[in-house]
């Protein structure tokens, strides 16, 4: 299991993820995505799900029509690790392709 990130490492990661924020006590990375419609939102989730399986690292998320609320943390470590940053970066790439 990767180590928990230090506060300075979290802040550094967020400089490359400007649309993300941290939950209280930096326990998770949060972002809400809005897509054009349900198909786009579900397509995003499908692409991310395949990556999550490859990484064996899975998002906590919720979908309502065209919106996807994401919460990333490493459950086994009890906080944020490099795995969460990696998955957030991947989500940004997918969302950018979908113009979210
Ligand atoms: N996803 C996330 N977000 N955090 C974890 O700690 C985690 C996971 N652990 N996916 C994995 C699966 C673990 O439960 C399995 C047994 O490897």
Nearest CA to ligand 1 atom 7: 57
Q: What would the mean pLDDT of 42-59 be, rounded to a whole number?
A: 98
Mean pLDDT of the chain: 97
pLDDT for residue 97: 95
Q: What is the pLDDT of residue 33?
A: 98
Residue 99 pLDDT > 90, yes or no? no
Is residue 74 in contact with ligand 1, taking CB distance under 6 Å? yes
Stretch 34-61: mean pLDDT, rounded? 98
Cα 55 to middle of ligand 1, angstroms: 9
**pLDDT value, residue 100:** 80
Q: How far is the CA of 1 from the centre of ligand 1 (A)?
A: 9
pTM above 0.95, yes or no: yes
Q: Which of 93, 22, 98, 89 is nearest to 66 (CA)?
A: 98
Do residues 35 and 100 lie in contact, with contact meaning Cβ atoms separated by under 8 Å?
Answer: yes
Q: What is the 3-state secondary structure (H, E, C) of 51-62?
A: HHHHHCCCCEEE
């Amino acid at each position: 299991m990767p180590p928990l990130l230090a506060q300075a490492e979290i802040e550094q990661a967020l400089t490359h993820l400007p649309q993300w924020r941290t939950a209280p006590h930096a326990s998770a990375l949060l972002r809400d995505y809005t897509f054009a419609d349900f198909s786009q939102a579900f397509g995003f989730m499908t692409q991310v799900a395949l990556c999550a399986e490859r990484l064996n690292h899975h998002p906590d998320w919720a979908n309502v029509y065209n919106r996807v609320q994401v919460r990333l943390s490493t459950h086994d470590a009890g906080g944020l690790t490099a795995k969460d940053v990696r998955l957030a970066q991947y989500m940004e790439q997918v969302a950018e392709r979908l113009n979210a």
